Structure 1
Amino acid sequence: MPTESEKQMSSIESTIVRVVDNIKKSDSDSWNYRGLELSNEMLVVLISHPNIDKAAAALDVSIGNLADQKDIPGIAHFLEHMLFMGSSKYPGENEYSKLIEGNGGSSNAFTSGDHTNYYFDIHPNLLPEALDILAQFFISPLFSASSTDRELEAVNSEYERNLSDDGRRVFQLEKSTSDPKHPYSGFTTGNSESLRTMPKQRGIDIRQVLLDFHKVQYSSNRMSLAVLGNQSLDELQSLVMKSFNDVPNKNLKQVKYPADPYGESTRKTICYVVPVKEYRCLTINWVIPDHKDLYYCDPESYLSHLIAHEGDGSLLSYLKKLGLATQSASGEKYVAPGFSFFYVYLELTIEGLNRWEEIIYIVYQYIAMLRKEGPKEWIFDERKNLNAMHFQFREKEPANDFVSNLALRMR
C-alpha cells in the first residue's frame, strides 16, 4: 500500500503533461535546467544550482496593455499594481513585499503591449514561501477598496514622472499619431483621470473592472514561469506543482493584433519634438509584419547589423564625414503578435539637425543599396558565429533579470 507521501508525489506527477530535460546550454554553464508543461497548460522552466546567492522567479502573462478597454485606458497596468495588494490566502497588503524586501530580495513587475511580467529575487531558503504568495496573485486576488484607492495614487505618480521623460513622451507621441481604431493608439500607463474620475462619471466600479479583466484575460494557458533555486530540479518541480497547479485554465486564445497600426491615412507622418533635456536625434520607424515563424534566421538582426555598423563604408561613417551624425542604432521594436517596428536612430550634430531631410534621403539610399546587393551568406554566417560565441561565453545576468527574460521569451 502506498504511503501518504507516495500518494502525494503521484498526484503531483499527474499534474505534469510534458517534461523536457535536454535543454541546450553552453559548455561553460554549470546550472541544471528542466522544462515542464503543467496540466493547466502553464509552461515552466526550472533552473537549479547549489551555490547561488539568490533564488528568483518570474511569471509572465501573455496579455498586456493592448488589451485595455478603450474607455478605461491603463487598466492592464493598474491590475499589475493591484496584484501585489493581497490575496484570499495572504490578505496582508504588504505581505509579499515584506517577505522579499525583509530578506535581502527585491520584487517588481512591468506591463508591455502583450505581456505582463512579475518577478522577484530572495534568499534561497525562502523561495517556497515567496513562490506560494506569487501564485496566489493569479488564483484569488482581493482588490480591496482601500488598496485600490492607494495604489491608484502610485499609478498616477508614475504617470506624472513620465511627463518629463523624453523617451516616454516620444513613445506616447508615436502611439497617439497611429490609427485611433487600432489598440496601439491607446494611453497605456493610466492616471487618476482615466482610472477614477472618468469611470466614476459613467457609474463604473473600477474594482469590478479589475476583477473582470483578471477573470477574462488572465489564464494559466497564457502564463510562463521561470524558477531559479538551490534545490534540486525534482524539489523545484514539487514546489511549482504545489503552488501553481491551481491557477485556473480558462482556455483563452493567444491574442493577435491587426497588422498595421498606422494605415494609409496616418503613415508617412513627420513629428517634431521639443525635448525636456537637450539632445538632437532623428528616428525613422517602419511597421513590419509579424515574423515569428522566421525566428531561427532572425532577418531583422541581419539588417540592423548592416545599418548600425560603424566601420568604413557604413552609413554612420559617411554621415560622420559630412559632419551630420555622431551615433547610430538600429533594430526591431517588438510590440505584439501581429506587428512590430523596425527603426533607425541617429544622434545628430547641430548641422545634422538643420539638414535632417538630407539625412533621411541618405538613409533611404543606403537601404536601396542593401536591397540591390541582396543578402550575403558570408555576413549571415559571420553573425551566426558571433551569436554562437556569445551563447557559449555569455556572462550570467542578475537572477531576477535572468528569470524575467526567460519567462518573457517562452511564449
Structure 2
Amino acid sequence: MKLWLKPFFNISLAFLTVASGACTTSNDGYESPVDLSSKPEAVKRKFKTLTLKNQLDVMLISDPDVKQSAAALNVAVGFGEDPDGQAGMAHFLEHMLFLGTKKFPDEGEYSRYIASHQGYNNAYTTFENTNYFFTINHRGFDGALDRFSQFFIAPLFTPKFVEREKNAVNNEFEKNKQNDSWRVYELAKLDIRKDHPASKFGTGNNETLKSITRDDLMAWHKKYYSANNMTLALISSASLDEMEGMARKYFSLVENHKTPEVKYSDKVLDESRKLSIYHVKPVKDHKQLAISFNLPPQSQNYKNKAHDLMASLIGSEHPGGLAQKLKANGWVTDLFGGAYDQSHQFELSVTLHLTDKGARDYQKVLDEVFAYLNFIKDQGIPKGLFYEKKALAETYYVYPRFEEGGNYVAQMAAAMQKFGSDDLLKKMYLYEEFSPAAFEALFPFLKPKYAQIFFSQQDFKPDSKEPIYGTEFKVENLSKDRVAKLESMKSSKFTYPSANPYIPENLELISDTMAKPEQVLNKNGVNIWFQGDTAIGLPRGHIRGRLIYDQPSQSARSYVTNQIYSKIISQNFASWSEQLQLAGINLGVYPSYAGINFELDGFSDKLPRAMADFLEKLKGLEIPSQTFKDQKDAYVKDLRNAAFESAYQQAIKKLRSEMNRYTPYVPDHLNEAEKITLADVKAYHQKFVQKIAVQAVAYGNLRKDDVVTSFAKLGSSSSANTQFLDKAYINPARAKKKPVSMNTKDNNDAWTAVRFVGQRDPKNEAFSRILTTLISDKYFNDLRTHQQLGYVVAAFPYQDPINVGVQFLIQSSNYPSKELSKRTETWLKGERNRLAKISDKEYTQIQQGLLARLTKPFKTSEEFAGQIFSETFIMDRVGYRQQLIDAVAALDAKTFKAMVKEAMAPKATEVSVFVNKPKSRS
C-alpha cells in the first residue's frame, strides 16, 4: 500500500512515447499499415463493459492464455478530499481496508488467502484516485473477489488497528523523508494556491493522523466509497459470462450513495506568485534542473494526443534536438520529457541531470530549454511524427503486447475514470485525428508564467525550510527582463527528427518454427541458440545475450571500469536506442561481472538488423573526452550517494555482493572509480571488442539464417576465458560467512538475511517456493501489522545459479537492525512448530496453486528466450523448468515437514547484513 507521488520527474503519460519524423505516408491520404477491425488468430482476448444496477462501471477481459486472474477497483477520490486538519485521511483509509471486514473479520484473511493462491495484492492513493488491485491463481479468483468486494461493502475499521495502522502510515512517511523526489514534490506545493486541494500533504504522519477516529473513517468511507464513484476491471481465463456473474454477485452489494463527482479548478498556481527558481538542497549529491509547465486538462484531446506529441519532442534524443545539444555542450548527462494528466490540470515537464559545468551554467541551460520550446512553436507540429506514431500505435492495437496481472487492470480501472468505458483502448492508445490546432493550443502555456523551476544542488546557502520534509531551499526571483529574454529565446541549431529505418513493414508470420531450441552457431567464441516461434503466433521476437569478458571479475577496479564503460555505451547509443523504441523495438544494455548483457525485444521484422547494428556500433564505439568525463562524474556521484539510499536497498545490494565473489559492493570502491582515466576506458574498449565471447538466445517470429547473419560481424575469433563464470557464486556452507554490519546515512535501520536450503536443484527449489508461499504473508502480517516493526517487511524465495533459500527483509525507523534479526528468529521458532503440524489439505492447496502457476504456458518471446538462456548458459541444465514442475508435484507433505526442521533450525546456514542508521538521527 502506498501513496503515489505525482510523477514530477521523467514519467511519460501515453502508451507510446514516439519522437520521429518518418511516416508511411505523411499526408492526409495516409493508409493504415493494419486493418483495425481485424483480429489475428493468436489474439484471443475479449472485452466487455457493463454498468451494474448500483451504477458501478465494469470492464471484463477474458483471455484463455493469461497465467493468473486479476482485479482492480478504482475509487475516484484521493487526498484532494482529505478534511482540514486530517492530512492523510484517504491514504490511511486505504491501509485500513486491508485489516478486516464484517464478512471476513480476521485482519490477515484477505492477504493470506491471496498468498495461498500464489497471488499478490497492493493499493495506491493519488490526489484524485485510490486504486486497489490483486493477482491470483484462477482457482482462487472467485473467493478473492468475495473478500475483495467486502472492502467496499462492510469494512470493520477495528479500533485497535485504527491506532496501530497510524504507525504504519508514519513509517511510510519516514521512509520517504530521505527521498529527493518526494521532497521536491512537497516543496512544489508552496507555489500552489493555498485554497486549492492540490496543496495538501497527502501521505499523512503521526501528527496529522492523530485526531482521526474510527467514526471519521466510517463517515469518509460512506461519503466517497460509493458505487457510482467506482470503476472495476477484471481479467481471467474465465469466460465473459462467468466473470459477469462474479461481478454482479459480489459488487452489486456496494452501496450507491450518489456521491457527486469531485471536480477541481484548473487554476492551480498562485497567480500572485513571483516567477522564480527554487534552489533546493538535496539529500543526495546531485545536480538537477526540473521545469514543469501547468496546462489545462488534456483528456479531451485523446483523438489527437497533441500533449503526447509535445512531450515526445521535448524529451527526444534525436540529433538536432534539445538533449543532444545540451550533451554536446557538456551541460547534461540525461534529459527526460514527461507528461502528467489529471482532471483539473495537465503538466509537461523536462528534467535535466546536470554536469558540474551545467550546474555552473544553469541559466544558459534554461535559455536553451526555452529556445527549443520557441523552435517548436515556430515549426508547428511535425506531420510525419503524428503519422509515424499513428502507424505504430495501430500496429500495437492489432498485435498487442501480452499484458496481464494486477498492475494491468489497475491501469484500466483508472483509465475508465478518465475516459469512460466505451472504446477505452482506442481512447488510450490510438492517434485518430491530426490536429495542428490542438498542438498549437499548448503554445501559450509553454511560458515562464506557467512554469515551476527547481534547481537541486548542494553548493548554495539556503535561507528557508519546507515544513513537512524539512527540505532546505532558497528562492531566486526572476526579473522582468530575464522573463522577457526566456520568452524570446531563439536558436537556429535545432531540427526535427529524420526518417526511421526500423519501422516494421512485414508483419507476416514465418514458418521457420522449431519444436525445441537448437544451437545454430558455435564458432570462434560465438555460441547462439535459436527457436522459431511455435506458441505465440504474433510478429514478435526477442534476442538476449551477454558479451563475456573476464576482466570485470579480476579486481574491483576492473569491475568499476566496466560499469563506467557500460554507461558510456548507453549514452552513445541513446539516440539510436530511442529510434529503435519508436519503431517498437526495445534495447537494454546492462553491465555485469561477466561483461555486458543485452536484450532486444519487439516487432520481429527489423530485429535481426537491429542486432547486427548493435554489434557494429559497439565495435566502432568512439569515446569523446566530454562523454567520458560526464559519465564518470555521474557514476562517482552515484557511489557517493549510495549511503543515502533507502537502508533496505543498501542491505540487498550488500548481500548480493556477499554471495557473488565477482560483484563487489561498489560504494566501497569509490577511490578506484575516481582514478579511472579516459585512456583506461579506451584501452578497455579495444580489448573488450577483440576478446569477447558471445552467448545469446533468439526466440520468435524470426528466420534462423537471419539470426545467424546478425552475429556475423563480430569477427573471426575470441580469446575470452569463460571458465571463471562457474566460480562466481559462493557455497555459503563452505564459505562460513560472518554477519556483515554497515552504516547508512538514511534515517532507517534495515536487516536482510538468506536462510539457505541447499544447492539449487529441483527438489530444493520446489521446497523453498512452497515454504515462502506458506510463510511470506504471515511474516508480513505478524511483524508489520501486529509488531509494527516497519513499513518494509518481506519474505521471498532466494536463488542464484547454485543456491536456493528464503530471504527475509525488514526496514524500520523505530528498531535497530539487531532487533529486527532477533524478532525474526523468534518468529521462525513459532513457524517451525506451526508448519510441523500443517494439514495435508492446506499443504495440497499451496502445492496445487504453485503448480498451476508454473505450468501455465509462456505467452511472450521474452519469457521463452529468458528460460532458454537460463537453462542453457546460466544453469547448464536444459529442461530445468519441467524438472522443477515435476519436483513440486512430487514433494509430499511429510517430506516437506522434514525439510522444514532443517531449513528453519536456529543454526541453519545464513548470510546476513545489518544496516545501521546514524545514532544522532531519529
TM-score, length of structure 2 as denominator length: 0.40
Report the counterpart of residue 407 of structure 2 in structure 1: 401
**Does structure 1 residue 265 correspond to structure 2 residue 272?**
yes
Distance in 1 separating the partners of 2:231 and 2:329? 49
Shift of 1:52: 2.9
* Aligned residue runs from structure 1 range 196-345, under 5 A: 196=210, 199=211, 206-266=213-273, 268-334=275-341, 336-345=342-351
* Structure of higher CA gyration radius: 2
- Ranges in structure 2 where 5+ consecutive residues have no aligned partner: 1-35, 418-922
1:54-105, CA deviations, whole angstroms, 9 ceiling, x for partnerless residues?
A: 1111000111111111211000000100111111111111110010012211
Partner SS, residue 137 of structure 1: helix
Distance in 2 separating the partners of 1:94 and 1:71? 30
* Aligned residue runs from structure 1 range 57-206, under 5 A: 57-196=71-210, 199=211, 206=213
**Contact persistence 2:157–2:214 (CA under 8 A):** yes
Report the counterpart of residue 33 of structure 1 in structure 2: 47
- 1:379 aligns with one of 385, 389, 409: 385
1:122-146, CA deviations, whole angstroms, 9 ceiling, x for partnerless residues?
A: 1111111110111111111111111
Distance in 1 separating the partners of 2:303 and 2:231? 21
Partner SS, residue 318 of structure 2: coil
Shift of 1:393: 3.8
Report the counterpart of residue 54 of structure 1 in structure 2: 68
Distance in 2 separating the partners of 1:288 and 1:227? 33
Distance in 2 separating the partners of 1:297 and 1:149? 49
Distance in 2 separating the partners of 1:26 and 1:69? 49
**Contact persistence 2:298–2:307 (CA under 8 A):** no
- Ranges in structure 1 where 5+ consecutive residues have no aligned partner: 1-22, 200-204
Shift of 1:339: 1.0
**Contact persistence 1:60–1:118 (CA under 8 A):** yes
Distance in 2 separating the partners of 1:343 and 1:361? 15
Partner SS, residue 397 of structure 1: coil
1:243-284, CA deviations, whole angstroms, 9 ceiling, x for partnerless residues?
A: 000111122222121112212223623212222223221110
Shift of 1:394: 3.9
TM-score, length of structure 1 as denominator length: 0.89
Report the counterpart of residue 389 of structure 1 in structure 2: 395
Partner SS, residue 279 of structure 2: coil
Distance in 2 separating the partners of 1:267 and 1:187? 23
- Select between 353-362 and 25-34 the one with higher mean Cα deviation: 25-34
User: CA distance change for structure 1 residues 24 and 222 in 2, over 3 Å: closer, same or farther?
Assistant: farther
Distance in 2 separating the partners of 1:364 and 1:253? 41
**Contact persistence 2:72–2:233 (CA under 8 A):** yes
Partner SS, residue 387 of structure 2: helix
AA at the equivalent of 2:326 = L
Distance in 2 separating the partners of 1:273 and 1:263? 20
**Contact persistence 2:227–2:256 (CA under 8 A):** yes
* Divergent runs of 4+, >4 A: 23-26
**Contact persistence 2:317–2:323 (CA under 8 A):** yes
Shift of 1:331: 2.3
1:182-239, CA deviations, whole angstroms, 9 ceiling, x for partnerless residues?
A: 111111000111001xx2xxxxx52111111111111111111111122211111101
Identity across the alignment (%): 35
Distance in 2 separating the partners of 1:276 and 1:188? 21
Distance in 1 separating the partners of 2:283 and 2:213? 33
User: CA distance change for structure 1 residues 217 and 81 in 2, over 3 Å: closer, same or farther?
Assistant: same
**Contact persistence 1:260–1:287 (CA under 8 A):** no
Structure 1 vs Structure 2 CA RMSD: 1.7
Shift of 1:388: 2.1
Distance in 1 separating the partners of 2:202 and 2:67? 36
AA at the equivalent of 1:366 = Y
Partner SS, residue 365 of structure 2: helix
AA at the equivalent of 2:166 = L
Higher relative contact order (CA 8 A, sep 6+): 1
Distance in 2 separating the partners of 1:254 and 1:93? 31
Distance in 1 separating the partners of 2:249 and 2:285? 53
**Does structure 1 residue 366 correspond to structure 2 residue 372?**
yes
User: CA distance change for structure 1 residues 162 and 312 in 2, over 3 Å: closer, same or farther?
Assistant: same
AA at the equivalent of 1:107 = N
Shift of 1:391: 3.1
AA at the equivalent of 2:313 = L
Partner SS, residue 278 of structure 2: coil
**Contact persistence 2:339–2:348 (CA under 8 A):** yes
Partner SS, residue 213 of structure 1: helix
AA at the equivalent of 1:316 = A
Partner SS, residue 125 of structure 1: helix
